[in-house]
Amino acid sequence: MEVNKDLKKPYGICPAARTIWNADESYNKKGMEKYLTWLLDNGAQSLSIVGSTGENMAMSEVEQKEVLGHVASFIDGQVPLVGGTGKYDTHTTLDLSKYAESVGYDALLVLLPFYYTPHKKSVLQHYRNLRKELSVQMYIYNNPWFAGYELNTPEVQSLIEDGTIQGIKAAHGDPNRVHDLKYYMGDKITVFYGHDYCGMEAYMGGADGWLSGLPAILPKQCRAIQDAVWSGSIEAARKAMNNVIPFVNYFLYDKENGVPHWLEICNYTLTAQGLDVGLPRRPAGDLDDANKKKIEKLLADME
């Protein structure tokens, strides 16, 4: 199907929003509303809902639809909305995608079919089959860490040229992937940088936005990086990036046997900024006191 030209184009700081749970692990609508309002108040320009950072793998399809529907109703067109709908199989992905389209999402973020690692020909056809039945914008979630592989630039370009997709979340982390995609496809493709450690470099390579976990917990600081690059001030961009480097290094690398988990870090970072977001769903949990103190100090040291 042809893409609906009336849909908003996602751009800029697009937090991969957390999903907020009650103590009994049911969906916390009021908590989610307060969190989304905080994101918008702190510089978010688009929102990505029930992606990886939103714990989509910890939800049933019924729960995903509940969250997608609630957020669409609450946001009510204020900013472009991206809905995470990718599953391994085309059938389930299409069901979730049609639902997201029906409640008003501007774009879908569709993870590469994962776990069984299908061959590339079938993956490309997966996206083409989705396009046959959807008029919403579709972005590939090109995440080799979660899917076990990624599409290369020529493969992505083939889907852009035939109108199957309109954008991509480049989640490997290497900003060269962003630069490469924009070099070959320019304004034909919307490219979101999809990791946490090279936001400045990705924007300098032409990224149209930043969609990952870091903007979901430090939106104001990420917005400062983006705005500095887009204003043409390399010195200001480096200063803004330097502001978050200690936190990024803690977030990604300061671990012992995998502890603390990044979902746990996300929630406590929000809690330390005054938001009542509770805990991730189990098996993730709470941080120990030592890690909580680390986060509090890292936040206190930021500008």
Give tens-digit pLDDT for 90-134.
999 999 999 999 999 999 999 999 999 999 999 999 999 999 999
CATH number of the structural domain spanning residue 191 = 3.20.20.70
Q: Which amino acid is at 151?
A: L
Q: Is 136 contained in some domain?
A: yes
Q: Is 53 contained in some domain?
A: yes
Report the pLDDT averaged over residues 245-269: 97
Question: What contacts 170, CB < 8 A, 6 or more positions away?
Answer: 142, 177, 178, 181, 191, 192, 193, 194, 202
Report the pLDDT averaged over residues 71-87: 99
Per-residue model confidence (pLDDT) at position 87: 98
Position 240 confidence tier, pLDDT thresholds 50, 70, 90: very high
Which residues form the domain of 75?
A: 12-231
Say whether pLDDT at 303 is over 90.
no
Q: Is 42 contained in some domain?
A: yes
Task: Find out whether 170 and 191 touch, Cβ atoms under 8 Å.
Answer: yes
Per-residue model confidence (pLDDT) at position 232: 98
Q: Structurally, how many domains does the chain consist of?
A: 1
Q: Is 23 contained in some domain?
A: yes
pLDDT tens readout for residues 27-67: 999 999 999 999 999 999 999 999 999 999 999 999 999 99
Q: Is 302 contained in some domain?
A: no
Task: Specify the pTM.
Answer: 0.97
Q: Which amino acid is at 75?
A: I
Burial classification of residue 272, based on how many CB atoms lie within 10 Å of its CB (0-12 exposed, 13-18 middle, 19 or more buried)? middle
Per-residue model confidence (pLDDT) at position 210: 99
Report how far residue 89's alpha carbon sits from residue 92's, in angstroms, rounded to the nearest whole number. 6
Q: Is 274 contained in some domain?
A: no
Per-residue model confidence (pLDDT) at position 135: 98
Q: How far from 128 is each of 4, 58, 168, CA to CA, in Å? A: 16, 27, 15
Q: Is 25 contained in some domain?
A: yes
Pairing of strands 81-84, 107-111: parallel
Q: Is 248 contained in some domain?
A: no
pLDDT tens readout for residues 164-199: 999 999 999 999 999 999 999 999 999 999 999 999
